[in-house]
Structure 1
Amino acid sequence: MALAEIPLCVWRKRSQTFVFHGHSIRYWTAGQGEPLLLIHGFPSASWDWHYLWQPLTQRFRVIACDMLGFGDSAKPANHDYSLQQQADLQLALLEHLNVEQPVHLFAHDYGDSVAQELLARHYESRVELASCVFLNGGLFPETHRPVLMQKLLLSPLGWMIGRAFSRDGLVRSFRQIFGPHTRPSESQMDDFWSLVESHHGPRILHKLIAYVPERRVWRNRWVSAMQRGEVPLRVIDGGVDPVSGVHMVERYRELIPEADTVVLPDIGHYPQIEAPCEVLKHYLSFRDQLLFPPRKVAYS
């Protein structure tokens, strides 16, 4: 059964705004129950979650924002963007919404790194997490394989590449990272581009891409947090993603004790867009396990 799409024009009308460090941040929240924070990836925005939004809100209090520099949130040109500050932003949003319960995280791509930092902060008693599920992302710098556009944005000419970035460039990049049978339609590409282009977004792409070297700086902190094992974790991964596909999952299984992983064959970098029903099924099964863990039978 297909999940209903939320058109971008409708999604935008449902947004609310709060101010973070003087910048306008767009956010969405709906539903009741345990708080579930969705954290989007690069270079897109929270609309990435629109297929999953309604079914998740039937069970949880779902929260998402367009992070600083993304989507319809502010994109200041003279700003040094960092994953650490994006984690600060997520905590500020939770405080703005008076969230006091332990929070469940569901993250993708760039958002995986933000979630990793929040996980590290959990062990420092700066936030209380109940679980975390990662979709495709660079959980380990050594397994991240950037596409050509990311490499160009990281180069000394990145500021020029960003200013020249167009819808056609986005289409070429997305063709590389989506599954062969699940590529976005022209209409979806229009919407993705609208979110990138909003507030002159291409001019700051070279600043946002600084997350790639930042992951190397924080690698040991974040991997150590994942290895602690006190917060339940799962990876749901599109296996044919050239950036962080099955090769990343193999590394995860090497490093994380009792690794809980799901690989979706023939799916690329955006599982929540390419195979939302599968992602929803595997996410809800993970949450159900937290409520009803498998019974251990003792034999004598």
Structure 2
Amino acid sequence: MNYLDWKNKGKLISVFGNDVFVIDKGHLKKTLVILHGYPTSSYDYYKTLPELSKHYRVIIHDHLGFGFSDKPVDYSYSLIEQADVALQLWKQLKLTNITLLAHDYGTSVATEILARHNKQQINLQIEKLILCNGSMHIELSKLRMIQKLLRNKITRKWIAKLTNYPLYRKNLRNVYFDKSKATNGELQEMWFMLEYNHGRKVIHFLSNYINERYTFWHRWIGALKETTIPTKIIWAKNDPVAVAVIAELLTLEIPNNKLFWIDNCGHFPMLEKPDEWLNLVLK
């Protein structure tokens, strides 16, 4: 799908003074909200949105700094603030009862939301939680070299300036199990969305989420240990970054959970094996 066709499916909603790109599809009573990963956007779900919207009202937004949302240079891009934006957006959309699905970067935004939910700080009923391939246990994650360089305060600005499409394509393709599934056309569309609205100027700010996963480890892992929300863990088994041992540890920590594996699949199961991923989400 062309990135402009994807843009036409959504709209911009002002949240705390910044424009957030939102897709709101489906008219059913049950609502599924999705928190996407890094360094991509809501576009990760272009293959699965048509089927998901037959079962839910699906709401997915681009985090600030990603996709078609605003990319201000004078912004912290803290996962805490990304959670603030998500919660305010859902409040503006008058959501009161949701199923929350999160992948990669989005899983840390989700755990911040869980921490507030556990303390009854938010007026939102979360019926179910679905977690997919996220490095919540950052100490077990196998970070790529470019992630390490972008995380480093000295090198990250220069790496962001030097980032180009061939480098992006190589790094994204390397987290797929079946490299042929990461087509040039699809990766090109993702790159367009990263560059959209001067996105390369904020790449090095976005990567600070890795440091935050260490800083707020006890808060966010603690939130998973405390939650009573029924949780489904859907994990691509051959993810070279959010490795399988993370999912296995989560099953020991989250009180009410069920783990489902997707074999022979890398970091983006909704793109690499969309039908299998969909079946597990809707199961």
Q: Residue by residue, what CA displacement relative to the aligned partner does 1:48-90 show, whole Å, maximum 9, x if unpaired?
A: 1111111111111110111100001111112211101111111
Aligned residues of 2:251 and 2:257 also touching (Cα < 8 A)? yes
Q: Which has the larger Rg?
A: 1
Q: Residues of 2 paired with 1:135 and 1:8: CA distance?
A: 24
Aligned to 1:293: none
User: Which of 229, 232, 242 lines up with 1:231 in the alignment?
Assistant: 229
5+ residue gaps, structure 2, are: none
Aligned to 1:152: 149
User: Which of 170, 180, 183 lines up with 2:181 in the alignment?
Assistant: 183
Aligned to 2:245: 247
> For 1:34-73, what aligned pairs fall within 5 Å after superposition?
34-73=30-69
AA partner of residue 187 (structure 2): M
SS, match of residue 237 in structure 1? strand
Q: Alpha-carbon deviation of 1:258?
A: 5.3
Aligned residues of 1:143 and 1:251 also touching (Cα < 8 A)? no
Q: Residue by residue, what CA displacement relative to the aligned partner does 1:7-34 show, whole Å, maximum 9, x if unpaired?
A: 4322111211111222111111011221
User: Which of 98, 102, 106 lines up with 1:103 in the alignment?
Assistant: 98
Aligned to 2:127: 130
Q: Give the RMSD, CA atoms, in angstroms.
A: 1.4
User: Which of 14, 23, 27 lines up with 1:28 in the alignment?
Assistant: 23
Q: Residues of 2 paired with 1:182 and 1:252: CA distance?
A: 30
5+ residue gaps, structure 1, are: 1-5, 286-300
User: Which of 163, 167, 170 lines up with 2:168 in the alignment?
Assistant: 170
Q: Alpha-carbon deviation of 1:181?
A: 4.8
SS, match of residue 51 in structure 1? coil
Q: Alpha-carbon deviation of 1:154?
A: 1.2
Name the TM-score, length of structure 2 as normaliser. 0.94
Aligned residues of 2:111 and 2:223 also touching (Cα < 8 A)? yes
Q: Alpha-carbon deviation of 1:182?
A: 5.0
Aligned to 2:109: 114
Aligned residues of 2:178 and 2:272 also touching (Cα < 8 A)? no
Aligned residues of 1:245 and 1:268 also touching (Cα < 8 A)? no
Q: Given the superposition, is the C-alpha separation of residues 242 and 50 from structure 1 closer, same or farther in structure 2, using an over 3 Å criterion? A: same
* Number of residue equivalences: 279
Which structure would you say has the larger RCO, counting Cα contacts within 8 Å and 6 or more residues apart?
Answer: 2
Q: Residues of 2 paired with 1:229 and 1:199: CA distance?
A: 38
Aligned to 1:86: 82
Q: Alpha-carbon deviation of 1:183?
A: 3.4
Aligned to 1:8: 3
Aligned to 2:209: 211
Aligned residues of 1:150 and 1:209 also touching (Cα < 8 A)? yes
Q: Alpha-carbon deviation of 1:128?
A: 2.2
Q: Given the superposition, is the C-alpha separation of residues 181 and 170 from structure 1 closer, same or farther in structure 2, using an over 3 Å criterion? A: closer
Name the TM-score, length of structure 1 as normaliser. 0.89
Aligned to 1:140: 137
Q: Alpha-carbon deviation of 1:251?
A: 2.1
Q: Residue by residue, what CA displacement relative to the aligned partner does 1:152-204 show, whole Å, maximum 9, x if unpaired?
A: 11121201110111111111111221113553101001101011111111121
Q: Residues of 2 paired with 1:95 and 1:229: CA distance?
A: 21
AA partner of residue 235 (structure 2): D
Q: Residues of 1 paired with 2:227 and 2:156: CA distance?
A: 38
SS, match of residue 267 in structure 1? coil
SS, match of residue 47 in structure 2? helix
Q: Residues of 2 paired with 1:205 and 1:57: CA distance?
A: 31
Aligned residues of 1:239 and 1:245 also touching (Cα < 8 A)? yes
Aligned residues of 1:119 and 1:129 also touching (Cα < 8 A)? no
